[in-house]
Amino acid sequence: MIGDKKILYSGMQATGNLTLGNYLGALNNWIKLSEEYECFYGVMDLHSLTVRQNPAEFRKRARMLYTLYIAAGLDPKKNCIYFQSHVSAHAEMAWLLNCFTYMGELSRMTQFKDKSAKHADNINAGLFTYPVLMAADILLYQADVVPVGIDQLQHLEITRDIAERFNNIYGDVFTIPEGYVGKTGAKIMSLQDPTKKMSKSDENINASIYLLDDPDTIIRKFKRAVTDSGSEICYREDKPGICNLIDIYSATSGKNRDEITREFDGKGYGEFKLAVGESVVDILKPLQARMKELQADKAYIDSIIKENAEKASYTSMKTLRKVQKKLGLTERIR
Binding site for ligand TRP (CB under 6 A): 9-13, 44, 47, 134, 137-138, 146, 148, 152
The CA angle 25-29-30, to the nearest 5 degrees, is 120
Identified catalytic residue from 6, 78, 183, 197: 197
Task: Enumerate residues 6+ apart whose C-beta is below 8 A from 121.
Answer: none
The CA angle 189-83-302, to the nearest 5 degrees, is 115
Closest residue by Cα to residue 187 from 213, 148, 215:
148
How far lies 223's CA from each of 79, 231, 251, 269, in Å?
Answer: 38, 15, 19, 9
Identified catalytic residue from 200, 255, 322, 326: 200
Closest residue by Cα to residue 130 from 46, 222, 34, 234:
46
Is the CB of 140 or the CB of 304 nearer to ligand TRP?
Answer: 140
Identified catalytic residue from 115, 187, 239, 273: 115
CB of 164 to ligand TRP, least distance (A): 18
Is the CB of 9 or the CB of 222 nearer to ligand TRP?
Answer: 9
CB of 169 to ligand TRP, least distance (A): 23
Is the CB of 112 or the CB of 222 nearer to ligand TRP?
Answer: 112
Is the CB of 133 or the CB of 243 nearer to ligand TRP?
Answer: 133
User: How many whole angstroms separate alpha carbon 117 and alpha carbon 194?
Assistant: 24
CB of 7 to ligand TRP, least distance (A): 12
Active site residue 197: yes
CB of 228 to ligand TRP, least distance (A): 30
Task: Enumerate residues 6+ apart whose C-beta is below 8 A from 184.
Answer: none
- Side-chain-side CA neighbours of residue 102 (13 Å): 7
CB of 232 to ligand TRP, least distance (A): 36
Is the CB of 154 or the CB of 217 nearer to ligand TRP?
Answer: 154
- Sign of the CA dihedral with 155 first, then 159, 162, and 168 last: negative
CB of 177 to ligand TRP, least distance (A): 9
Is the CB of 51 or the CB of 226 nearer to ligand TRP?
Answer: 51
Backbone angles phi, psi at 184, to 5 degrees: -65, 160
Active site residue 292: no
Closest residue by Cα to residue 246 from 222, 281, 216:
222
User: How many whole angstroms separate alpha carbon 237 and alpha carbon 225?
Assistant: 17
Rg of the chain over CA atoms, in angstroms?
Answer: 21
Active site residues: 115, 197, 200
